Amino acid sequence: MIGLPKSASVMPVARHRARAPAMLRPWVDVRERSAGMSLLHATDPPSVDAAATLSPMSSVQLRGVALGQGRPKVIVPLVGTDLDGLLTTVADLTPVAADIVEWRADLLADCSVAAVLKGAARLREALGERPLLFTFRTRAEGGQQEITPEQYRELNLAVVASGLVDAVDVEHRVEPAAGDAVIAAARTAGVPVIGSVHDFTTTPPADELVEILAGIRQRGCAVAKAAVMPHSPADVLEVMVATRTMVTRYPGFPVLTMAMGGLGLITRLAPQLSGSCATFATVGAASAPGQIPVGELRPVMDLIDAHLPAPAIALIGLPGSGKSTVGPRLAERLGVPHRDVDQLLEQQQGRSITEIFATDGEAHFRELERDLTLELLAAPGVLSLGGGAPMTPAIAAALTGHQVVWLQVDPGTATSRIGSGHGRPLLAGEDPRARLERLLAERGPTYAGLATITVDTNRSSSQQVVDAVVAHLTDR
């Protein structure tokens, strides 16, 4: 049974079909200038001691790969006892569609800090821009060598400080002080941490697995990983349910899970069904039970993706951010339908939003808004959401796996656009700017956590905003 260290508190996005518009391509996690506006995709990972103020991350950027956005990524492990063998495997990777390479350093015959750093330098050069994940798996978690907590700490700190790797695996159950030291150093260096647990004997119940994964998140890791051993189909479902629960409860936070062995193969073949951000496949030897060659995995993932519904593009933001104006123009540009939740809701109810608020109250309106939004998210296209919609937990959870564009606007600019706020019940009866400032304080963190792309609209026309969004959608 997997346990928690003493120091720890307790959507899959389908790859676009061949006929699908470019909007389904994954994002890059960069800051760029386009059409006079700032585009930002990502939030910094939470600090180790800031569990109480954690907010979801949109993705984890590893060079050109955004882990947690777009299609689940394929990670290929490098396993070998000497550097020459590893470099030979790297050469074999050239034609392979592998997104990330994991180096299992515990398999080296010489695991001294000097030898590992030498190997990291050679691998970095050989891999070019392909991301490198460093992993030293302890024997307790299925690794090949014994290592003391101090040695584990020293080795990982040296690798993090070297700047040669793009991410580091830190075992959640390693001695807490050693693990926390590596997490803190990695955060300082800007190296994402994949916090991991491995159980080669059993599968915990879904609720226990969720507790463990949430604990990894709370420690400040950028990704939570769990690999467990199933003994029945029910065990496999426990893993998938736990994964789906995590991505629903913490929208935007990348979770990487798998059930090992032949019984758990479905979790490796179809990570997009549960919401896992990645899967492992082999080029040469496997590093864990159940891994299959990349060449066998990719066609299956392609087949599943081809039959999954395409994700929607959801526009979120304050009143006055331009959702209702940008939405139809963006949809026309992409050749897909546009739907405005507030407008459709008024048509369905035969009365205005203001009248619904006045007659039935905000709580009833939010229920109507929730039901309609969930229905509309089931179809592809551009969806303009009401400003408060993302604050409804069911809507926030449903946005996982969709492209979410936050149209940023300052309260002052929004006020000048909407005037007195007529027709907007939440702005009635008080100074619109003061109310918008409060709404931004309340909603901003949620917007940031859900957004896969953020566009500053303050000094941009609606056409410029559309141009910027399209440019970002088609960038990859």
Domains and CATH numbers, the chain: 60-307 (3.20.20.70), 313-473 (3.40.50.300)
CB 162 within 8 A of CB 125: no
What's residue 379's pLDDT?
Answer: 84
Give the separation between CA 166 and CA 60, rounded to whole angstroms: 10
To the query of whether residue 198 is one of the catalytic residues in this protein, the response is yes
CB 228 within 8 A of CB 259: yes
47 is in an annotated binding site: no
33 is in an annotated binding site: no
Give me the sheet containing 313-316, strands edge to edge. 31-34, 37-40, 453-456, 403-408, 313-316, 382-384, 338-340
228: nearest Cα among 198, 196, 249, 207: 198
435 is in an annotated binding site: no
Give me 194's structure tokens.
Answer: 């994949």
| Element of type H or E holding 116 | helix 113-127
Spatial CB neighbours of 148, under 8 Å, sequence gap ≥ 6: none
Residue type, 10: V
With the C-alpha atoms ordered 89, 94, 95, 101, is the resulting torsion angle positive or negative? positive
Return the axis-axis angle of helices 176-189 and 149-162, rounded to nearest 10°.
0
What's residue 105's pLDDT?
Answer: 97
15 is in an annotated binding site: no
103 is in an annotated binding site: yes
320 is in an annotated binding site: yes
- Pairing of the two strands 37-40 and 31-34: antiparallel
**Coil, strand or helix at 291:** coil
Bridge partners of 67, per DSSP, are 60
How many helical (H) and strand (E) elements, i.e. helices and strands, does the chain have? Answer: 17, 18
467 is in an annotated binding site: no
354: nearest Cα among 434, 422, 431: 422
With the C-alpha atoms ordered 130, 136, 141, 144, is the resulting torsion angle positive or negative? positive
Q: Which member of 16, 41, 225, 402 is catalytic?
A: 225
Return the axis-axis angle of helices 323-334 and 462-473, rounded to nearest 10°.
50
6 is in an annotated binding site: no
pTM score, whole prediction: 0.69
322 is in an annotated binding site: yes
Give the separation between CA 242 and CA 109, rounded to whole angstroms: 37
Number of neighbours of residue 441 by Cβ within 10 angstroms: 10
To the query of whether residue 172 is one of the catalytic residues in this protein, the response is no
Identify each DSSP E strand in 86-164 by its residue range.
100-104, 132-135
Q: Which residues of the chain have pLDDT under 70?
A: 1-58, 95, 284-288, 419-429, 474-476
Give the separation between CA 41 and CA 61, rounded to whole angstroms: 10
CB 452 within 8 A of CB 59: yes
What's residue 308's pLDDT?
Answer: 80
CB 236 within 8 A of CB 269: no
Give me 460's structure tokens.
Answer: 């941009």
**Coil, strand or helix at 375:** helix
What's residue 424's pLDDT?
Answer: 59
424 is in an annotated binding site: yes
Q: Which member of 16, 73, 172, 198 is catalytic?
A: 198
340 is in an annotated binding site: no
